[in-house]
Structure 1
Amino acid sequence: MTSSTESGSTQGVRAVALKKSDLYSSLWKSCDELRGGMDASQYKDYILTMLFVKYVSDKAKTDPNSLIDVPNGGSFDDMIAVKGNKEIGDKVNKIIAKLAEVNDLQKVIDLADFNDEEKLGKGKEMQDRLSKLVTIFQELDFRGSRAEGDDLLGDAYEYLMRHFATESGKSKGQFYTPAEVSRVIAKLISVTPETPRSATVYDPTCGSGSLLLKVAAESRQGLTTYGQEKDNATWALSKMNMILHDNAIADIRKGDTITSPQFTTGDTLDTFDFIVANPPFSIKSWSNGLENEFGRFEHGMPPEKNGDYAFLLHILKSMKSTGKAAVILPHGVLFRGNKEADIRKQLVKRGFIKGIIGLPANLFYGTGIPACVIVLDKENAQSRTGVFMVDASNGFLKDGNKNRLRSQDMHKIVDVFNKQQEIDRYSRIVPLDEISNANNEFNLNIPRYIDSSEHEDVQDLYAHIHGGVPNRDIDALSASWDAFPDLRRQLFIGNGQSGYCELTVNIAEVQQTILDSADFTRFYEKALAQVDKWYGAHRPALESISSDTKPSELISILGDELLAEFRNAPLLDEYDVYERLMTYWHGVMHDDVFLIMNEGWLKAALPRKTIEDKDRKISETPDLVIGSGRNTAKYKADLIPPALIVSRFFAEDQARIEDMTAAAEDATHQVEEYLEEHAVEDGLLAEAMDDGKISKALAMTRLKDAKREHAEPEEIITLKHLIDLYDKEAATKKLLRECQTKLDIATLTQYGHLSEIEIRELVLDDKWKTSITNGITGEVTKLTHNLVARIKQLGERYDATLGDLESEIEKLSSKVALHLAEMGLK
C-alpha cells in the first residue's frame, strides 16, 4: 500500500470486539453449532452454566464485595487451563462443583453434566466440543458489566434464553416469558422508580425468573424478590439468573405452588405487595396430591381438570390488602361456564378484577393460543364500579414463527391502561351493571364489549347506477381533512345529487394534487418542526453520553417526550411516530450508545479491521476496502459510516466520482448498443462472435484475420470502432477506480483527524437526527399514500355508471354485429 494508506491505517483504526448485537448473534451461532443432536431445552443448561461461571469469575476480579466467592480451582480461568485436555469433561465438572460448594449452590449450577458422553460425544469429540465452548466464552469480558438490562451480560442472557425458548419446541419453552410481555406486565401493577426496596414481589410460577426481574427493575432500588418453581432445572436457571442480575438474595424456592406452596406461615399463605405470574395454561393435574387448600378456594373450587383458576385464586389469596397482581392466562378464563363462571362472578362482584388486556395470538413459546392479562387490585376493590378492558390483539409484528409486541404496542397498552383512557375499538371502562346484566351474565369475553373488527367497506348501489362518490365515504376520512383542511374542497365538488360528489381532478392526478397542496406542505413542515423541537431539547443529553449513561433511561425519556410532542398532532398516530424512533434505536442507535459508553467518542469513531473468523462463522461486510490482493485491508466503521465523512469533507470529490460513474455506465451502454446493432447473424460482427458473445480480445483477433483476408472495409471499420468503444469503457472504469481508491484512502485518513466536536456533530446531527427525521417523515409519506390509495379506490369504484356500462355494451354489440355481417353471418 502507499504511504498515505499506511498513514490512514495507523492513525484511523481501532481494534475492538464486535458490536453488541453482532456479538449475541455470533454467540448463539457458535453455541448452536456445538449443540449437535442435543435438544435446545437441554443444551441451554450447559450454555447458561458456562455463562454463569464466566460472569462470576470476571466480577470477582474487580468487585471485592461480590456475593459470590470464586475459589482457586473453581474459576473460569481454571476451565481455560483444561482446554484440549483428554479429561476436560470431568475436570470442568470438578471446577463447577468447587464453585458450587463454596457458595452453597449445589443442585443449582452443577445440574449439567459436562462429562455426559451421550450428549457431548465420546473422546476427541467431547474434548474438541468443550474446548471450543470454553473459547467462545473466553473472548467475552464481563468485568465492566453492570447488569442493568443495558449491559452485555443482561442482554446476552436475554438473547440466549429467547433463542433457547424458540428452539425448544411446544412443551419445553415454558421456562421463559417473552421480554416484551414481561415489560408490559411490570408496568401494569403500579411499581414506580420510587417504590422502596422493602416492597415485596412474588411469582408463584417463576420459571427462569425473567418476569420477576423485569418487575424489580421498575424500581430504582429494586424490590424484595420471592419466587417458586416446580421444575428442578428451571428453578436452577432462576437462581443463576438472580445472581447474574445482582439479585443474589432473592428467595427462590422449589416445589409445586398449588399442592406445596413454600411461602406459608402455619396454615396461612404469606402475602405480598406485588404478584406477577405466567402459569402453565389449563393444566389438568393441578389437584394431584392437594391436601391443604390454605383458604384459597373461598370463592369456589376450580374444575378438577383445569387449573387456571387454581393459580388465579392462589395469587388472590397471596395479595396483601392493598396488593396488586397481573396474571397471564388463556382467554377461556373470561367466558368458560360452570364452576369457573361461578368463581368469575364472585371476583367481579367483589371488585378484585381491575382490568383485562387481550393479547395477540402466538406470543408465547409453550402455546400458540391467544392469552390475556388479568390485573387484580385489592385496594379500593369494594368501590370499583367497572372493569377496564383493552383489546390489544391486533398490535404485533410477525417475527419468524412467532408474533412479537412492538415498542409502540407495549407503550400503548401501558399508557392506556394506567390512564384508564378510552379509545374507540381499543379500550373502555365496562360498568359492572353491563357485565352482570341478563345478556352477559358475568361473561368477560372482550369482543362482547369492544368491537375491534375492521369496518365493512359498504358499496353504494345508487352511486354505481348514477355516478358520484358518496359523501359518507368522504366523511369517513375526517382525520385526513383535519390535517388537510382545504384539501377536501380541492379534490371534491358536488355533482348535483344530494349526498354525492365527484373528483375535480383525474384519478391519475390525485397524488400530485395532494403533494402540491399548501395543506400538505404545511403539514410536512410542521412535522419537521416538531422533530427539530424535540431533538433540540434532548441533544445536550445525547452529547453528554459517557460511561455513566444508562441507555434504558435515556431512550425512555426520549420516547416519552416524542410521544408527548406528537400526542395532539392531527392524522399522525403518536405511537406510530414512537415506533419509528424505537426501530432506529434497536437497529442502530443502541449499539452506537453502547460503543460510545465503552470507548468514548474519539476511539469509538475510528474504523477497525473487519473480523473474519471461520470458527465462529463471522464474516463482516467491510465499509472500506483499501488495496488489492495480498495487501488488501478491510475496515468496518461502526459509529460513523464513510458516507457521512465523504458528504461532509469530500463532497466535491464524490460529485466527480458520480459524474465518472455516469460516464462509465454510458460507455458500457454504448458497447452494448453497438453489439446489439452489429453482433447478430449476418451482421458486420458475426465473424467475431463466439457463443453469441464478442469480447475485446475476440474483436482484436478477428481484426487481424480480417486485414489478412482483405475482408470488407465495413467489417474492419466496425471492428475498430468496437475496440475503441471497449478501450473507452476500460479507460473510464480505470479512472473511476483510481479516483474511488484515492477517496477511500482520504476518507480512512480523515477518521484519524476528526476532532471530538466534529465526531459529535457527525453522529448527533448527520447520523442520528437525519435518520430519525427521515423515519418520522416516512410516516407522513405513508399516511399520504394511504389517503391517495383510498381516494383513487373510491374514484375508480364509481367512475363508470350503469349507463356508461350499458352504452359500452351497445357499442361493442354493434361492432360484433358488423363483423358478423362482413363474414356473411346474421
Structure 2
Amino acid sequence: MVNSQDIVSVEQRVWNAGNKYRGQFESGSIVTIWSEMIYLSAIRSEYAVLLEQPTLDLNMMIGQLHDLAQSNEIQAAVVSDFNESIRHALLPRTNEENRLQIFNDIREDGLTLIHEQCDRITLMKILQRMNIDYGPRMNGSSATPDRLNKLMASIALTKVRERGPITVYDPTAGTGGSLIAMRRMLGKSISVKLVGQELDPEAYLRCNMMLDLIDDDTTSHHLSNNDALSSDKGVKKLKADIILSDPPYSVNWNPEADLLKSIPYSEIGVLPPKSRADFAFVLNGLSHLKAEGTMVIQLPHGVLFRGAAEAKIRQYLIEQNYIDAVIGLPANLQYETSIPTMLLVLRRNRSRKDVLFIDASDEAERSRPRNNLPESAVNRIVATYQDFRDDNQYAHVAAQSEIISNDFNLNIPRYVDNFVPPEKVSIANLENHIASLNDEINVLDTKMRKIMAKYHAE
C-alpha cells in the first residue's frame, strides 16, 4: 500500500513546483513529465545519463532520447509523450530565454524526488493518482483505488494452490494496478506472468510503463492495446489462474452477429443487452479461466437483479455453479463514480453449491473526494470469505435452493438482513416522561404569567 506520508510529500512537491512557475508552465503536466522521467531513468541507464545533465538545447535532448528509444515501441511512445508534455507545459507567453531555465529547474526537482524515493513504483502510483484527481489526462476508469486492488487480489489468493508459475489476467487493465497488486502479494519466489488488455491508448502506455519496472527474473508481462470484448489478439489461447477485472460499468457494446452460436451464449440462449456490457465482461473472463482458477470482477449492483437477458445469464451462472461469492462494497470508493459497487467471485470446479453473500456497504471511512475502505474492512471481508460462514447482519451462505426460490435474483439485501430494529419503548415510561414535560410546561407558564402581569401593572 502507498504510505499516506509519501503521498502528502509528493503532492506538496508538485504544488510547490506549480506555484513557482504559475503563468509560465502548465502545472498539470508536471506529474506526467516526472512519471516519464522515472520510467526512462529506471528502464535504461543511457536515458538516466541524459536526464541527469542540465539541458542546453531541448530539441537536441529529445532527439537523443528518440535515437535511444527507436528500437522499442513502448519507450519510443514514452519519449514522444515526454516531448509533447514539455511543449504543452511551456506556455506560449513564456519567452525563449526562460524556457530552458524553467524546464531544467523542473527536471532537477523531479530528479531530487526520484533519488529520495527508492520505490519508483510507489512514486509513479502517487503521481498517477494525482493525474486522475487533479488534472486528468486519463479518465477515472483507467485506475482502481489501491485498497480495492488489494482486496480483489487477496480474495483470489485464498484459492491459489499452485506455487508457480502463475498467470494473472486483467482484460481491462487500465494503468495496471490490479496486476501490480497481485505481483506484490505473490512474492518474488513465485514465477508470474502478467497478461492484460487495455483499450485506451494513454492508459495502455501508462500500464506498460508500470509493468516494465517490475519485470525481473520471476516476472514477465504481455499487454495488448485492444478491446477485450471484440478482440482476442494476444490472449486467444490464454488460460489464467487468476483473473482480476474492474471493467467500465454498463457501457454499450456491439457483439458480432454469430456470437450467439458460440459457447457459452449458445447454451444460455441470449446475449447481454447492447446497452449494458457487464455480463459480457463476466462471460469473456470465464472463457479464459483455468479449471481451478478464480475470477474477481467489480460490477454495479444492477447485474444482481435486472431482468430479461441478464436474468437468464444469472440463472446460467448459478446452474453451472460458477458463482462463489457476492460482496457488496460501500459507495463512493471509485475515482469515476460515487455509486456503490460489488465484487462477483467466480470459480469453475467448485465442490460446494452454495453462495456466500457479504454486505460490507457500511464499512467505509468517510472522506473527500472519495471514501476509503480501511484495512480492517479488507481483512474482515477476506476472513469471512475464507471461512465461508454466516455472520449476523454481515454475511450469509445461501443454498442453491434458496437462490432458486428467489428466481435467481442475487440482490444482497434478499440474503443479508442488516436492518437494525429501533429500540423498544416502554409505554409506561413514555407516559411518565410526557407527564414530567407537562409539569415543566406548567411551571414555566406560571413564571411567564407573573412576568407579564408585572409589565402590565407598570
Which band: TM-score by shorter chain?
0.7 to 0.9
Equivalent in 231, 242, 245 of residue 274 of structure 1: 242
Distance 1:137-1:804 versus aligned 2 partners, 3 A rule: closer
Residue 820 and residue 392 in structure 1: after superposition, are their counterparts in 2 closer, same or farther (change >3 A)? Answer: closer
Q: TM-score w.r.t. structure 1 length?
A: 0.49
Q: Partners in 1 of 2:251 and 2:83 — Cα distance?
A: 33
Alignment partners' CA distance in 1, 2:384 and 2:222: 33
| Deviation (angstroms), 1:174 | 1.7
Cα distance in structure 2, aligned partners of 1:428 and 1:434:
11
The alignment partner of 2:325 has SS state of: strand
1:809 Cα deviation (Å)? 4.4
Q: CA deviation at 1:213?
A: 1.1
How do 1:636-785 residues align onto structure 2 when only pairs under 5 Å count?
none
Amino acid corresponding to residue 417 of structure 2 in structure 1: D
Distance 2:12 2:439 in 1: 68
**What stretches of structure 2 of length at least 5 have no aligned partner?**
none
Per the alignment, in what secondary structure is the counterpart of residue 142 of structure 2? coil
Q: Secondary structure at the match of 2:143?
A: coil
Q: 1:325 aligns to what?
A: 295
1:804 aligns with 436
Alignment partner of 1:197 is 2:164: yes
What residue number does 1:649 align with?
Answer: none
1:251 to 195, 217, 222: 222
Contact 1:142/1:153 (<8 A) preserved:
no
Q: Number of matched residues?
A: 440
Contact 1:258 1:314 in 2 (8 A): yes
Code of the residue aligned with 2:121 in structure 1: it is G
Q: Which has the larger radius of gyration?
A: 1
Q: Aligned in 2, Cα 1:390/1:814: closer, same or farther, shift over 3 Å?
A: same
Change (3 A) 1:112 1:459: same
Which of 360, 374, 384 matches 2:330? Answer: 360
1:708-727 deviation line (CA, Å, top 9, x unaligned): xxxxxxxxxxxxxxxxxxxx
Q: Separation in 2 of the partners of 1:306 and 1:35? A: 44
User: What residue is the counterpart of 1:50 in the other structure?
Assistant: 37
Alignment partner of 1:165 out of 120, 132, 145:
132
3-state SS of paired residue (1:135): helix
Deviations 1:126-179 (A, max 9, x none): 423421221012224559x8xxxxx53222122112222222469712221100
Asked if 2 retains the 8 angstrom alpha-carbon contact of 1:196 and 1:219, the reply is: no
Q: Which amino acid in structure 2 is aligned with residue 372 of structure 1?
A: M
Residue pair 1:228, 1:262 contacting (<8 A) in 2 also: no
Amino acid at match of 1:29: W
* 2:280 is the alignment partner of 1:314: no
Equivalent in 388, 393, 410 of residue 444 of structure 1: 410
Give 1:279 shift: 0.6
Give the drift of 1:296. Answer: 4.9
Seen in structure 2, the aligned counterparts of structure 1 residues 328 and 370 have a Cα distance that, compared at 3 Å, is: same
Deviation of 1:25 after TM superposition, in Å, equals 3.4
Q: Judging changes above 3 Å, is the alpha-carbon distance between structure 1 residues 125 and 282 closer, same or farther for their aligned structure 2 residues? A: farther
- Give the equivalent residue in structure 1 for 2:254: 287
Identify if the C-alpha distance between structure 1 residues 462 and 207 changes in structure 2 by more than 3 Å, giving closer, same or farther: same
Partner of 2:431 in structure 1?
465
Match of 1:393 in 2: 361
One-letter amino acid of the structure 2 residue matched with residue 224 of structure 1: K
> What is residue 235 of structure 1 aligned with on the other side?
204
Corresponding residue for 2:104? Answer: 131
Provide the alpha-carbon RMSD of the alignment: 3.1
| CA distance in 2 between partners of 1:193 and 1:353 (Å) | 17
Deviations along 1:543-602, one digit per CA (max 9) or x if unpaired, are: xxxxxxxxxxxxxxxxxxxxxxxxxxxxxxxxxxxxxxxxxxxxxxxxxxxxxxxxxxxx
- Report the residue type matching 2:141 in the other structure: Q
1:588 alignment partner in structure 2: none
Change (3 A) 1:411 1:28: farther
Match of 1:218, SS? helix
Question: CA 1:821–1:244 in 2, change beyond 3 Å: closer, same or farther?
Answer: closer
How far off its partner does 1:94 sit?
2.3
Partner of 2:382: 414
Q: Which residue of 2 aligns with 1:344?
A: 314
Counterpart CA distance in 1 for 2:22 and 2:223 is 29
Partner residue of 2:15 out of 23, 26, 29 = 29
Give the CA deviation at 1:100: 2.1
CA offsets 1:335-370 (integer angstroms, 9 cap, x no match): 111111110111112211100111111111121211
What one-letter code is carried by the residue in structure 2 that aligns with 1:276? Answer: L
Equivalent in the alignment of 1:484: none
Match of residue 112 from structure 1: 81
CA contact (8 A) 2:172 2:247 kept: yes
Q: What is the SS of the residue equivalent to 1:252?
A: strand
Are the aligned partners of 1:35 and 1:43 in contact in 2 as well (CA < 8 Å)? no
- The residue type equivalent to 1:235 in the other structure is Y
- Distance in 2 separating the partners of 1:91 and 1:455: 72
How far is the alpha carbon of 1:443 from its aligned partner?
1.2
Residue 127 to residue 456, structure 1, CA distance change in 2 (3 Å): farther
* Structure 2: distance between partners of 1:296 and 1:131: 57
Measure the CA separation in 2 of the matches of 1:332 and 1:277. 17
1:134 aligned partner, one-letter code: R
Per-residue CA deviation, residues 433-464 of structure 1 (Å, 9 max, x unaligned), is 22211xx2111111222222444244333212
Secondary structure at the counterpart of residue 249 of structure 1: strand
> Aligned pair in 2 of structure 1 residues 349, 130: CA closer, same or farther (>3 Å)?
same
**Stretch of structure 1 that moved more, 125-134 or 394-403:** 125-134
Matching residue's letter, 2:107: V
Q: Is the 8 A contact 1:180 1:405 kept in 2?
A: yes
- Superposed displacement of residue 819, structure 1: 6.8
Give the Cα–Cα distance (whole angstroms) in 2 for the partners of residues 133 and 313 of structure 1. 47
